[in-house]
Amino acid sequence: MTAQIPDRIVIDGVESVLLATPLDGLLRRLGDRVPTFVAPHTGNWRGYTAGWRVTDGRLFLDS
């Protein structure tokens, strides 16, 4: 199995990889109401890479 490109997270100005996939549960619940993501290559079977940040103790999706 090909290693997958991780999401990114910025906490206190420091960018790190995020090995969890917080969007997975939401996308499953939304089902057909979300677009179909196309995997651009085998390193990204999800078809997307998310960018997150933590500000004032809250998690935000930036990209």
43 located within any domain? yes
Does residue 54 surpass a pLDDT of 80? Answer: yes
Domain housing 41: 7-61
42 located within any domain? yes
21 located within any domain? yes
Q: Which two tokens stand for residue 49?
A: 């890479």
Confidence band, pLDDT 50/70/90 cuts, at residue 56: very high
1 located within any domain? no
Number of domains observed in the structure of the chain? 1
In degrees, rounded to 5, the angle at the alpha carbon of residue 18 between the alpha carbons of residues 16 and 47 is: 120
Average pLDDT, the chain: 90
Mean pLDDT of 6-16: 96
CA–CA gap between residue 7 and residue 21 (Å, rounded): 7
2 located within any domain? no
13 located within any domain? yes
Amino acid at 61: L
- Burial grade of 10 (CB within 10 A; 0-12, 13-18, 19 or more): middle
